[in-house]
A and B are shown apart, each in its own frame.
Chain A
Protein backbone atom coordinates (compact mmCIF):
# COMPACT_ATOMS: atom_id res chain seq x y z
CA UNK A 1 0.00 0.00 0.00
CA UNK A 2 2.93 2.32 0.66
CA UNK A 3 4.40 1.55 -2.76
CA UNK A 4 2.54 4.25 -4.57
CA UNK A 5 4.61 7.33 -5.31
CA UNK A 6 3.90 10.54 -3.50
CA UNK A 7 3.13 8.96 -0.14
CA UNK A 8 6.64 9.29 1.22
CA UNK A 9 7.59 13.00 1.39
CA UNK A 10 11.18 12.21 0.40
CA UNK A 11 9.92 10.31 -2.63
CA UNK A 12 7.83 13.26 -3.59
CA UNK A 13 10.77 15.62 -3.13
CA UNK A 14 13.01 13.42 -5.27
CA UNK A 15 10.47 13.19 -8.04
CA UNK A 16 9.91 16.95 -7.99
CA UNK A 17 13.66 17.58 -8.00
CA UNK A 18 14.22 15.37 -11.02
CA UNK A 19 11.21 16.93 -12.74
CA UNK A 20 12.73 20.35 -12.08
CA UNK A 21 15.92 19.42 -13.91
CA UNK A 22 13.89 18.04 -16.79
CA UNK A 23 12.04 21.34 -16.83
CA UNK A 24 15.38 23.18 -17.05
CA UNK A 25 16.18 21.23 -20.22
CA UNK A 26 12.79 22.08 -21.70
CA UNK A 27 13.15 25.71 -20.68
CA UNK A 28 16.61 26.00 -22.27
CA UNK A 29 15.24 24.63 -25.53
CA UNK A 30 12.38 27.12 -25.60
CA UNK A 31 14.77 29.88 -24.60
CA UNK A 32 17.09 28.95 -27.49
CA UNK A 33 14.32 29.47 -30.02
CA UNK A 34 13.05 32.62 -28.31
CA UNK A 35 16.52 34.17 -28.19
CA UNK A 36 17.28 33.44 -31.82
CA UNK A 37 13.91 34.68 -32.97
CA UNK A 38 14.09 37.90 -30.97
CA UNK A 39 17.64 38.71 -32.05
CA UNK A 40 16.91 38.07 -35.70
CA UNK A 41 13.79 40.27 -35.72
CA UNK A 42 15.58 43.48 -36.83
CA UNK A 43 16.95 41.75 -39.94
CA UNK A 44 13.66 39.98 -40.53
CA UNK A 45 11.73 43.28 -40.37
CA UNK A 46 14.20 45.10 -42.59
CA UNK A 47 14.61 42.51 -45.35
CA UNK A 48 11.64 40.17 -44.96
CA UNK A 49 11.44 37.36 -47.47
CA UNK A 50 13.95 39.08 -49.75
CA UNK A 51 16.61 37.94 -47.25
CA UNK A 52 16.63 34.43 -48.70
CA UNK A 53 16.55 35.45 -52.36
CA UNK A 54 18.97 38.36 -52.32
CA UNK A 55 22.59 37.67 -53.24
CA UNK A 56 24.18 40.82 -51.82
CA UNK A 57 26.13 40.54 -48.60
CA UNK A 58 27.56 43.99 -48.10
CA UNK A 59 28.48 45.07 -44.54
CA UNK A 60 29.66 48.48 -45.81
CA UNK A 61 26.27 49.37 -47.31
CA UNK A 62 24.54 47.42 -44.50
CA UNK A 63 22.58 45.32 -47.01
CA UNK A 64 22.30 41.62 -46.34
CA UNK A 65 20.98 38.69 -48.33
CA UNK A 66 21.65 35.05 -47.57
CA UNK A 67 21.29 33.39 -50.96
CA UNK A 68 25.00 32.63 -51.59
CA UNK A 69 25.25 30.98 -48.17
CA UNK A 70 22.08 28.97 -48.60
CA UNK A 71 23.30 27.89 -52.02
CA UNK A 72 26.70 26.91 -50.65
CA UNK A 73 25.24 24.93 -47.76
CA UNK A 74 22.86 23.05 -50.05
CA UNK A 75 25.34 22.34 -52.83
CA UNK A 76 28.17 21.21 -50.54
CA UNK A 77 25.78 18.98 -48.56
CA UNK A 78 24.29 17.43 -51.70
CA UNK A 79 27.76 16.79 -53.12
CA UNK A 80 28.63 15.11 -49.84
CA UNK A 81 25.57 12.86 -50.05
CA UNK A 82 26.32 12.01 -53.67
CA UNK A 83 29.70 10.69 -52.60
CA UNK A 84 28.89 9.33 -49.14
CA UNK A 85 25.67 7.39 -49.75
CA UNK A 86 26.87 4.93 -52.43
CA UNK A 87 30.15 4.34 -50.59
CA UNK A 88 28.43 3.81 -47.22
CA UNK A 89 25.81 1.49 -48.65
CA UNK A 90 28.47 -0.51 -50.50
CA UNK A 91 30.64 -0.74 -47.42
CA UNK A 92 27.67 -1.68 -45.24
CA UNK A 93 26.74 -4.49 -47.63
CA UNK A 94 30.33 -5.72 -47.63
CA UNK A 95 30.56 -5.70 -43.84
CA UNK A 96 27.17 -7.31 -43.24
CA UNK A 97 27.01 -9.82 -46.08
CA UNK A 98 30.52 -10.64 -47.27
CA UNK A 99 33.06 -9.88 -44.58
CA UNK A 100 34.27 -12.68 -42.34
CA UNK A 101 32.90 -12.27 -38.82
CA UNK A 102 36.26 -11.36 -37.29
CA UNK A 103 36.42 -8.28 -39.53
CA UNK A 104 33.13 -6.81 -38.40
CA UNK A 105 34.00 -5.30 -35.05
CA UNK A 106 37.31 -3.70 -36.12
CA UNK A 107 35.57 -2.06 -39.06
CA UNK A 108 32.77 -0.68 -36.91
CA UNK A 109 35.34 0.50 -34.39
CA UNK A 110 37.18 2.35 -37.17
CA UNK A 111 33.95 3.95 -38.32
CA UNK A 112 33.22 5.04 -34.76
CA UNK A 113 36.69 6.53 -34.46
CA UNK A 114 36.09 8.47 -37.67
CA UNK A 115 32.96 9.87 -36.06
CA UNK A 116 34.90 10.90 -32.96
CA UNK A 117 37.47 13.06 -34.77
CA UNK A 118 36.78 16.75 -34.04
CA UNK A 119 35.68 18.66 -37.10
CA UNK A 120 38.49 21.21 -36.79
CA UNK A 121 40.95 18.34 -37.34
CA UNK A 122 39.10 17.32 -40.49
CA UNK A 123 39.41 20.95 -41.54
CA UNK A 124 43.13 21.01 -40.85
CA UNK A 125 43.63 17.82 -42.83
CA UNK A 126 41.38 19.23 -45.53
CA UNK A 127 43.47 22.39 -45.96
CA UNK A 128 46.87 20.76 -46.08
CA UNK A 129 46.24 17.27 -47.49
CA UNK A 130 42.87 16.87 -49.19
CA UNK A 131 42.72 20.20 -51.03
CA UNK A 132 46.18 19.86 -52.65
CA UNK A 133 45.45 16.25 -53.68
CA UNK A 134 42.06 17.15 -55.16
CA UNK A 135 43.48 20.22 -56.89
CA UNK A 136 46.43 18.56 -58.57
CA UNK A 137 45.11 15.08 -59.25
CA UNK A 138 41.47 15.76 -60.00
CA UNK A 139 40.37 19.35 -60.45
CA UNK A 140 43.18 20.57 -62.71
CA UNK A 141 43.00 17.70 -65.22
CA UNK A 142 39.20 17.72 -65.25
CA UNK A 143 39.03 21.50 -65.67
CA UNK A 144 41.50 21.21 -68.54
CA UNK A 145 39.55 18.64 -70.54
CA UNK A 146 35.98 19.14 -69.33
CA UNK A 147 36.20 22.84 -68.52
CA UNK A 148 33.61 23.62 -71.23
CA UNK A 149 31.06 21.95 -68.95
CA UNK A 150 29.77 24.66 -66.58
CA UNK A 151 30.06 22.44 -63.48
CA UNK A 152 33.77 21.88 -64.03
CA UNK A 153 34.87 25.33 -65.13
CA UNK A 154 38.11 26.74 -63.77
CA UNK A 155 40.05 28.61 -62.59
CA UNK A 156 41.12 26.05 -60.02
CA UNK A 157 42.36 27.49 -56.73
CA UNK A 158 41.91 24.51 -54.46
CA UNK A 159 39.49 25.61 -51.75
CA UNK A 160 36.14 24.99 -53.37
CA UNK A 161 32.63 23.66 -53.17
CA UNK A 162 33.98 20.25 -54.26
CA UNK A 163 36.59 20.18 -51.50
CA UNK A 164 33.89 20.99 -48.95
CA UNK A 165 31.66 18.27 -50.39
CA UNK A 166 34.37 15.60 -50.29
CA UNK A 167 35.41 16.51 -46.75
CA UNK A 168 31.79 16.51 -45.59
CA UNK A 169 31.33 13.12 -47.24
CA UNK A 170 34.20 11.69 -45.22
CA UNK A 171 32.66 13.15 -42.07
CA UNK A 172 29.13 11.83 -42.57
CA UNK A 173 30.06 8.37 -43.88
CA UNK A 174 30.29 6.84 -40.37
CA UNK A 175 26.73 7.90 -39.56
CA UNK A 176 25.20 6.72 -42.82
CA UNK A 177 27.24 3.51 -42.62
CA UNK A 178 26.10 2.56 -39.13
CA UNK A 179 22.43 3.33 -39.81
CA UNK A 180 22.55 1.42 -43.10
CA UNK A 181 24.08 -1.56 -41.33
CA UNK A 182 21.26 -1.50 -38.80
CA UNK A 183 18.71 -1.32 -41.61
CA UNK A 184 20.34 -4.25 -43.41
CA UNK A 185 20.28 -6.22 -40.19
CA UNK A 186 16.49 -5.89 -39.95
CA UNK A 187 16.03 -8.12 -43.00
CA UNK A 188 14.72 -11.52 -41.87
CA UNK A 189 17.36 -14.22 -42.32
CA UNK A 190 14.86 -16.67 -43.82
CA UNK A 191 14.11 -14.32 -46.73
CA UNK A 192 17.77 -14.15 -47.62
CA UNK A 193 18.03 -17.91 -47.35
CA UNK A 194 14.93 -18.28 -49.52
CA UNK A 195 16.59 -16.41 -52.39
CA UNK A 196 19.80 -18.38 -52.01
CA UNK A 197 17.99 -21.70 -51.85
CA UNK A 198 16.28 -20.94 -55.15
CA UNK A 199 19.70 -20.75 -56.71
CA UNK A 200 20.18 -17.00 -56.57
CA UNK A 201 23.70 -15.63 -56.29
CA UNK A 202 24.65 -13.48 -53.35
CA UNK A 203 24.41 -10.32 -55.42
CA UNK A 204 20.91 -11.28 -56.58
CA UNK A 205 19.96 -11.92 -52.99
CA UNK A 206 21.26 -8.49 -51.97
CA UNK A 207 19.52 -6.77 -54.87
CA UNK A 208 16.18 -8.39 -54.13
CA UNK A 209 16.41 -7.95 -50.37
CA UNK A 210 17.49 -4.30 -50.58
CA UNK A 211 14.86 -3.54 -53.17
CA UNK A 212 12.20 -5.14 -50.99
CA UNK A 213 13.22 -3.96 -47.56
CA UNK A 214 15.94 -1.43 -47.31
CA UNK A 215 15.23 1.45 -49.67
CA UNK A 216 13.22 3.51 -47.13
CA UNK A 217 15.82 2.80 -44.44
CA UNK A 218 18.69 3.86 -46.65
CA UNK A 219 16.72 6.97 -47.53
CA UNK A 220 16.33 7.66 -43.80
CA UNK A 221 20.08 7.20 -43.29
CA UNK A 222 20.69 9.62 -46.16
CA UNK A 223 18.46 12.27 -44.62
CA UNK A 224 20.24 11.78 -41.29
CA UNK A 225 23.56 12.35 -43.04
CA UNK A 226 22.12 15.46 -44.67
CA UNK A 227 21.19 16.79 -41.22
CA UNK A 228 24.81 16.35 -40.14
CA UNK A 229 26.23 17.94 -43.26
CA UNK A 230 24.00 21.03 -43.21
CA UNK A 231 25.15 22.20 -39.79
CA UNK A 232 28.82 21.28 -40.07
CA UNK A 233 30.87 24.41 -39.48
CA UNK A 234 34.60 24.22 -38.99
CA UNK A 235 35.63 21.76 -41.67
CA UNK A 236 33.54 23.55 -44.30
CA UNK A 237 34.77 26.99 -43.25
CA UNK A 238 38.34 25.84 -43.69
CA UNK A 239 38.06 24.43 -47.23
CA UNK A 240 35.10 26.04 -49.02
CA UNK A 241 36.94 29.26 -49.90
CA UNK A 242 34.61 31.70 -48.09
CA UNK A 243 33.53 33.75 -51.07
CA UNK A 244 29.93 35.02 -50.95
CA UNK A 245 29.15 34.50 -54.62
CA UNK A 246 27.22 31.91 -56.59
CA UNK A 247 29.08 29.87 -59.20
CA UNK A 248 27.75 26.95 -61.19
CA UNK A 249 31.17 25.28 -61.12
CA UNK A 250 31.93 23.03 -58.16
CA UNK A 251 35.62 23.92 -58.63
CA UNK A 252 34.90 27.51 -57.62
CA UNK A 253 34.87 28.87 -54.13
CA UNK A 254 31.69 29.22 -52.15
CA UNK A 255 30.44 30.02 -48.70
CA UNK A 256 28.07 28.28 -46.32
CA UNK A 257 25.55 29.47 -43.73
CA UNK A 258 27.51 28.06 -40.81
CA UNK A 259 30.80 29.36 -42.23
CA UNK A 260 29.66 32.98 -42.53
CA UNK A 261 28.49 32.88 -38.90
CA UNK A 262 31.84 31.43 -37.83
CA UNK A 263 33.84 34.03 -39.74
CA UNK A 264 31.92 37.24 -39.14
CA UNK A 265 30.05 36.83 -35.87
CA UNK A 266 32.73 37.92 -33.40
CA UNK A 267 33.22 41.28 -35.13
CA UNK A 268 29.63 41.95 -36.16
CA UNK A 269 27.19 44.38 -34.62
CA UNK A 270 23.82 45.95 -35.37
CA UNK A 271 22.04 44.79 -38.48
CA UNK A 272 24.91 42.52 -39.55
CA UNK A 273 24.74 40.65 -36.25
CA UNK A 274 20.99 40.34 -36.55
CA UNK A 275 21.34 39.06 -40.13
CA UNK A 276 23.88 36.47 -39.03
CA UNK A 277 21.53 35.31 -36.28
CA UNK A 278 18.73 35.11 -38.82
CA UNK A 279 20.95 32.85 -40.93
CA UNK A 280 21.53 30.79 -37.79
CA UNK A 281 17.80 30.56 -37.14
CA UNK A 282 17.12 29.43 -40.72
CA UNK A 283 19.91 26.88 -40.52
CA UNK A 284 18.57 25.56 -37.23
CA UNK A 285 15.03 25.21 -38.53
CA UNK A 286 16.10 23.42 -41.71
CA UNK A 287 18.38 21.06 -39.78
CA UNK A 288 15.61 20.32 -37.30
CA UNK A 289 13.07 19.48 -39.95
CA UNK A 290 15.58 17.23 -41.69
CA UNK A 291 16.63 15.49 -38.47
CA UNK A 292 13.14 14.93 -37.13
CA UNK A 293 12.05 13.68 -40.55
CA UNK A 294 14.90 11.17 -40.62
CA UNK A 295 14.20 10.07 -37.07
CA UNK A 296 10.51 9.55 -37.80
CA UNK A 297 11.29 7.55 -40.92
CA UNK A 298 13.84 5.34 -39.19
CA UNK A 299 11.76 4.66 -36.10
CA UNK A 300 8.88 3.54 -38.29
CA UNK A 301 11.22 1.09 -40.03
CA UNK A 302 12.50 -0.26 -36.75
CA UNK A 303 8.93 -0.65 -35.48
CA UNK A 304 8.02 -2.52 -38.65
CA UNK A 305 11.02 -4.81 -38.28
CA UNK A 306 10.08 -5.53 -34.67
CA UNK A 307 6.61 -6.54 -35.72
CA UNK A 308 8.35 -8.94 -38.06
CA UNK A 309 6.90 -7.77 -41.36
Chain B
Protein backbone atom coordinates (compact mmCIF):
# COMPACT_ATOMS: atom_id res chain seq x y z
CA UNK B 1 0.00 0.00 0.00
CA UNK B 2 2.68 2.46 1.03
CA UNK B 3 4.60 1.29 -1.99
CA UNK B 4 1.97 2.53 -4.45
CA UNK B 5 1.65 5.84 -2.65
CA UNK B 6 5.38 6.40 -2.85
CA UNK B 7 5.30 5.36 -6.49
CA UNK B 8 2.52 7.81 -7.22
CA UNK B 9 4.30 10.62 -5.45
CA UNK B 10 7.51 9.90 -7.28
CA UNK B 11 5.70 9.69 -10.61
CA UNK B 12 3.98 13.02 -9.96
CA UNK B 13 7.36 14.51 -9.17
CA UNK B 14 8.84 13.23 -12.42
CA UNK B 15 5.88 14.36 -14.51
CA UNK B 16 5.87 17.84 -12.99
CA UNK B 17 9.59 18.20 -13.58
CA UNK B 18 9.05 17.56 -17.26
CA UNK B 19 6.11 19.96 -17.31
CA UNK B 20 8.39 22.67 -15.95
CA UNK B 21 11.09 21.84 -18.47
CA UNK B 22 8.50 22.05 -21.23
CA UNK B 23 7.40 25.48 -19.97
CA UNK B 24 10.98 26.72 -20.00
CA UNK B 25 11.47 25.44 -23.55
CA UNK B 26 8.25 27.06 -24.75
CA UNK B 27 9.36 30.35 -23.18
CA UNK B 28 12.70 30.48 -25.00
CA UNK B 29 11.44 28.94 -28.26
CA UNK B 30 9.92 32.19 -29.66
CA UNK B 31 13.20 34.01 -29.12
CA UNK B 32 15.05 31.51 -31.27
CA UNK B 33 12.31 31.53 -33.88
CA UNK B 34 12.31 35.33 -34.06
CA UNK B 35 16.09 35.58 -34.40
CA UNK B 36 16.17 32.75 -36.90
CA UNK B 37 13.53 34.39 -39.09
CA UNK B 38 15.12 37.82 -38.75
CA UNK B 39 18.48 36.54 -39.91
CA UNK B 40 17.18 34.28 -42.69
CA UNK B 41 14.61 36.70 -44.11
CA UNK B 42 16.55 39.85 -43.33
CA UNK B 43 19.76 38.66 -44.96
CA UNK B 44 18.00 38.39 -48.31
CA UNK B 45 17.92 42.15 -48.81
CA UNK B 46 20.89 42.97 -46.65
CA UNK B 47 23.31 44.67 -49.00
CA UNK B 48 25.49 47.73 -48.80
CA UNK B 49 22.91 49.70 -50.78
CA UNK B 50 20.33 49.04 -48.04
CA UNK B 51 22.39 51.13 -45.68
CA UNK B 52 23.27 53.99 -48.03
CA UNK B 53 20.36 54.36 -50.50
CA UNK B 54 17.00 56.03 -50.28
CA UNK B 55 13.90 53.85 -50.58
CA UNK B 56 12.95 53.03 -54.16
CA UNK B 57 9.36 53.01 -55.42
CA UNK B 58 7.50 49.70 -55.42
CA UNK B 59 8.64 47.28 -58.09
CA UNK B 60 11.96 48.99 -58.64
CA UNK B 61 14.72 46.72 -57.32
CA UNK B 62 17.30 47.94 -54.84
CA UNK B 63 16.86 50.92 -52.64
CA UNK B 64 17.54 51.20 -48.97
CA UNK B 65 16.58 52.60 -45.65
CA UNK B 66 19.41 55.11 -45.28
CA UNK B 67 17.04 57.99 -44.53
CA UNK B 68 15.44 55.92 -41.78
CA UNK B 69 18.78 55.08 -40.21
CA UNK B 70 19.76 58.76 -40.29
CA UNK B 71 16.34 59.77 -38.93
CA UNK B 72 16.54 57.30 -36.07
CA UNK B 73 20.02 58.54 -35.15
CA UNK B 74 18.95 62.21 -35.34
CA UNK B 75 15.72 61.75 -33.37
CA UNK B 76 17.44 59.61 -30.73
CA UNK B 77 20.29 62.09 -30.22
CA UNK B 78 17.85 64.99 -30.18
CA UNK B 79 15.79 63.23 -27.51
CA UNK B 80 18.85 62.57 -25.41
CA UNK B 81 20.31 66.08 -25.57
CA UNK B 82 17.65 67.41 -23.25
CA UNK B 83 16.39 64.23 -21.65
CA UNK B 84 19.71 63.10 -20.17
CA UNK B 85 20.33 66.31 -18.16
CA UNK B 86 16.71 66.55 -17.00
CA UNK B 87 16.59 62.90 -15.98
CA UNK B 88 20.01 62.68 -14.32
CA UNK B 89 19.54 65.94 -12.40
CA UNK B 90 16.09 64.83 -11.24
CA UNK B 91 17.58 61.53 -10.15
CA UNK B 92 20.29 63.39 -8.21
CA UNK B 93 17.63 65.51 -6.55
CA UNK B 94 15.59 62.48 -5.52
CA UNK B 95 18.56 60.53 -4.19
CA UNK B 96 20.52 63.32 -2.52
CA UNK B 97 17.95 65.86 -1.38
CA UNK B 98 14.56 64.29 -2.00
CA UNK B 99 12.60 64.16 1.21
CA UNK B 100 9.14 65.43 1.94
CA UNK B 101 6.02 65.88 -0.08
CA UNK B 102 7.52 67.39 -3.22
CA UNK B 103 9.96 64.50 -3.65
CA UNK B 104 7.20 61.92 -3.11
CA UNK B 105 5.09 63.70 -5.70
CA UNK B 106 7.98 63.57 -8.18
CA UNK B 107 8.53 59.87 -7.45
CA UNK B 108 4.85 59.19 -7.96
CA UNK B 109 4.96 61.14 -11.23
CA UNK B 110 7.93 59.08 -12.41
CA UNK B 111 6.17 55.82 -11.52
CA UNK B 112 3.09 57.06 -13.32
CA UNK B 113 4.97 58.01 -16.48
CA UNK B 114 6.78 54.66 -16.60
CA UNK B 115 3.46 52.88 -16.87
CA UNK B 116 1.84 55.09 -19.52
CA UNK B 117 1.51 53.29 -22.88
CA UNK B 118 3.98 54.76 -25.34
CA UNK B 119 1.33 55.70 -27.90
CA UNK B 120 -0.14 58.14 -25.37
CA UNK B 121 3.15 60.06 -25.45
CA UNK B 122 2.59 60.41 -29.19
CA UNK B 123 -0.81 62.02 -28.53
CA UNK B 124 0.82 64.36 -26.01
CA UNK B 125 3.50 65.53 -28.44
CA UNK B 126 0.93 65.80 -31.23
CA UNK B 127 -1.29 68.14 -29.25
CA UNK B 128 1.57 70.22 -27.89
CA UNK B 129 3.78 70.46 -30.97
CA UNK B 130 2.20 69.13 -34.16
CA UNK B 131 -1.08 71.04 -33.82
CA UNK B 132 0.48 74.49 -33.10
CA UNK B 133 3.28 74.03 -35.65
CA UNK B 134 0.75 72.67 -38.14
CA UNK B 135 3.20 70.04 -39.30
CA UNK B 136 4.69 66.72 -38.29
CA UNK B 137 8.30 67.09 -37.24
CA UNK B 138 11.39 65.47 -35.78
CA UNK B 139 10.95 67.82 -32.80
CA UNK B 140 7.58 66.30 -32.01
CA UNK B 141 8.97 62.78 -32.39
CA UNK B 142 11.81 63.53 -30.00
CA UNK B 143 9.41 65.17 -27.53
CA UNK B 144 7.27 62.02 -27.49
CA UNK B 145 10.31 59.78 -27.03
CA UNK B 146 11.70 61.91 -24.21
CA UNK B 147 8.53 61.25 -22.22
CA UNK B 148 9.49 57.56 -22.37
CA UNK B 149 13.20 58.11 -21.83
CA UNK B 150 13.08 60.50 -18.86
CA UNK B 151 11.18 58.44 -16.26
CA UNK B 152 13.31 55.35 -16.90
CA UNK B 153 16.56 57.25 -16.43
CA UNK B 154 15.33 59.21 -13.38
CA UNK B 155 14.55 55.89 -11.72
CA UNK B 156 17.89 54.24 -12.50
CA UNK B 157 19.84 57.35 -11.54
CA UNK B 158 18.12 57.50 -8.17
CA UNK B 159 18.55 53.77 -7.58
CA UNK B 160 22.21 53.81 -8.58
CA UNK B 161 23.02 56.82 -6.38
CA UNK B 162 21.36 55.07 -3.47
CA UNK B 163 23.78 52.16 -3.82
CA UNK B 164 26.66 54.53 -2.99
CA UNK B 165 27.34 54.06 0.74
CA UNK B 166 26.67 57.06 3.00
CA UNK B 167 30.20 56.67 4.36
CA UNK B 168 31.57 57.69 0.96
CA UNK B 169 29.55 60.92 1.05
CA UNK B 170 30.56 61.55 4.65
CA UNK B 171 34.22 60.92 3.89
CA UNK B 172 34.09 63.46 1.06
CA UNK B 173 32.34 66.05 3.21
CA UNK B 174 34.75 65.41 6.08
CA UNK B 175 37.60 66.40 3.80
CA UNK B 176 35.95 69.78 3.50
CA UNK B 177 34.63 69.50 -0.06
CA UNK B 178 31.47 71.51 -0.72
CA UNK B 179 28.43 69.31 -0.87
CA UNK B 180 27.57 69.99 -4.51
CA UNK B 181 31.12 69.16 -5.51
CA UNK B 182 31.11 66.03 -3.40
CA UNK B 183 27.85 64.98 -5.00
CA UNK B 184 29.06 65.45 -8.54
CA UNK B 185 32.69 64.40 -8.19
CA UNK B 186 32.35 61.59 -5.69
CA UNK B 187 28.80 60.24 -5.42
CA UNK B 188 27.73 60.61 -9.04
CA UNK B 189 31.10 59.47 -10.29
CA UNK B 190 30.97 56.34 -8.13
CA UNK B 191 27.52 55.50 -9.43
CA UNK B 192 28.25 56.60 -12.99
CA UNK B 193 28.69 53.16 -14.66
CA UNK B 194 25.26 52.18 -13.38
CA UNK B 195 23.71 55.46 -14.49
CA UNK B 196 25.31 55.10 -17.91
CA UNK B 197 23.92 51.58 -18.19
CA UNK B 198 20.47 52.98 -17.44
CA UNK B 199 20.92 55.67 -20.09
CA UNK B 200 22.04 53.12 -22.69
CA UNK B 201 19.17 50.74 -21.87
CA UNK B 202 16.67 53.58 -22.19
CA UNK B 203 18.34 54.56 -25.47
CA UNK B 204 18.06 51.05 -26.85
CA UNK B 205 14.39 51.16 -25.94
CA UNK B 206 13.55 54.45 -27.66
CA UNK B 207 15.43 53.43 -30.80
CA UNK B 208 12.86 50.71 -31.37
CA UNK B 209 9.78 52.70 -30.34
CA UNK B 210 7.32 53.04 -33.18
CA UNK B 211 3.94 54.02 -31.78
CA UNK B 212 4.97 57.47 -30.45
CA UNK B 213 6.45 58.37 -33.84
CA UNK B 214 3.44 57.42 -35.97
CA UNK B 215 1.82 60.85 -35.81
CA UNK B 216 4.73 62.97 -34.61
CA UNK B 217 7.78 62.30 -36.81
CA UNK B 218 5.38 60.61 -39.28
CA UNK B 219 8.09 59.23 -41.58
CA UNK B 220 9.48 60.43 -44.88
CA UNK B 221 10.44 58.88 -48.20
CA UNK B 222 13.33 61.29 -48.71
CA UNK B 223 16.40 62.69 -47.00
CA UNK B 224 15.40 65.13 -44.33
CA UNK B 225 17.70 66.79 -41.86
CA UNK B 226 15.52 69.80 -40.98
CA UNK B 227 14.18 69.18 -37.53
CA UNK B 228 10.87 70.96 -38.17
CA UNK B 229 9.96 68.59 -41.00
CA UNK B 230 8.57 65.05 -41.05
CA UNK B 231 11.44 62.63 -40.63
CA UNK B 232 11.92 58.96 -41.48
CA UNK B 233 12.80 56.44 -38.77
CA UNK B 234 13.70 52.77 -39.00
CA UNK B 235 10.84 51.42 -36.88
CA UNK B 236 8.35 53.40 -38.97
CA UNK B 237 9.85 51.91 -42.13
CA UNK B 238 9.55 48.39 -40.71
CA UNK B 239 5.88 49.06 -39.97
CA UNK B 240 5.00 50.68 -43.31
CA UNK B 241 6.77 48.00 -45.32
CA UNK B 242 5.35 45.16 -43.25
CA UNK B 243 1.69 46.16 -43.65
CA UNK B 244 2.07 47.05 -47.34
CA UNK B 245 0.70 44.57 -49.89
CA UNK B 246 3.98 44.34 -51.86
CA UNK B 247 6.31 41.35 -51.71
CA UNK B 248 9.52 43.30 -52.24
CA UNK B 249 8.55 45.73 -49.49
CA UNK B 250 8.07 42.79 -47.14
CA UNK B 251 11.68 41.79 -47.81
CA UNK B 252 12.69 45.38 -47.04
CA UNK B 253 10.77 45.22 -43.78
CA UNK B 254 12.73 42.14 -42.70
CA UNK B 255 16.04 43.73 -43.70
CA UNK B 256 15.19 46.96 -41.88
CA UNK B 257 14.14 44.94 -38.85
CA UNK B 258 17.46 43.10 -38.89
CA UNK B 259 19.37 46.38 -38.94
CA UNK B 260 17.15 47.79 -36.19
CA UNK B 261 17.46 44.78 -33.89
CA UNK B 262 21.23 44.75 -34.41
CA UNK B 263 21.45 48.36 -33.27
CA UNK B 264 19.12 47.79 -30.32
CA UNK B 265 20.87 44.65 -29.12
CA UNK B 266 24.38 46.06 -29.56
CA UNK B 267 23.54 49.01 -27.32
CA UNK B 268 21.64 46.78 -24.91
CA UNK B 269 24.53 44.32 -24.58
CA UNK B 270 27.10 47.14 -24.36
CA UNK B 271 25.10 48.54 -21.45
CA UNK B 272 25.18 45.20 -19.63
CA UNK B 273 28.87 44.55 -20.27
CA UNK B 274 29.65 48.01 -18.89
CA UNK B 275 28.20 47.28 -15.46
CA UNK B 276 29.53 43.77 -15.33
CA UNK B 277 33.14 44.93 -15.75
CA UNK B 278 32.83 47.63 -13.12
CA UNK B 279 31.56 45.15 -10.56
Contact = CB atoms under 8 A, between A and B. Distances in A.
A and B pair up = yes
B242 A124 contact: yes
Contacts of A283: 117, 120
Contacts, number: 263
Interface in A151-189: 170, 173, 177
Contacts of A284: 116-117, 120
Contacts of A13: 180
B116 A231 contact: yes
A208 interface: no
Given A22-B98, A121-B260, A91 B24 contact: yes
Contacts of A18: 89-90, 92-93, 96-97
A95 to B, nearest CB: 7
Interface residues of A, number: 87
A243 B268 CA distance: 36
Interface in B2-21: 9-10, 12-13, 16-17, 19-21
A280 interface: yes
A201 B12 contact: yes
B265 A123 contact: no
A47 to B, nearest CB: 18
Given A25-B154, A265-B126, A90 B24 contact: yes
Interface string B95-136: 011100011011001111111111111111011100000001
Given A18-B89, A18-B96, A258-B117, A129 B20 contact: no
A291 to B, nearest CB: 3
B173 to A, nearest CB: 6
A149 interface: no
Given A120-B238, A177-B27, A234-B210, A94 B21 contact: yes
A56 B114 CA distance: 32
Interface in A168-216: 170, 173, 177, 201-204, 206
A52 interface: no
Contacts of A227: 115
A36 B92 CA distance: 30
Interface stretch (B55-63, B190-198, B211-219): B211-219
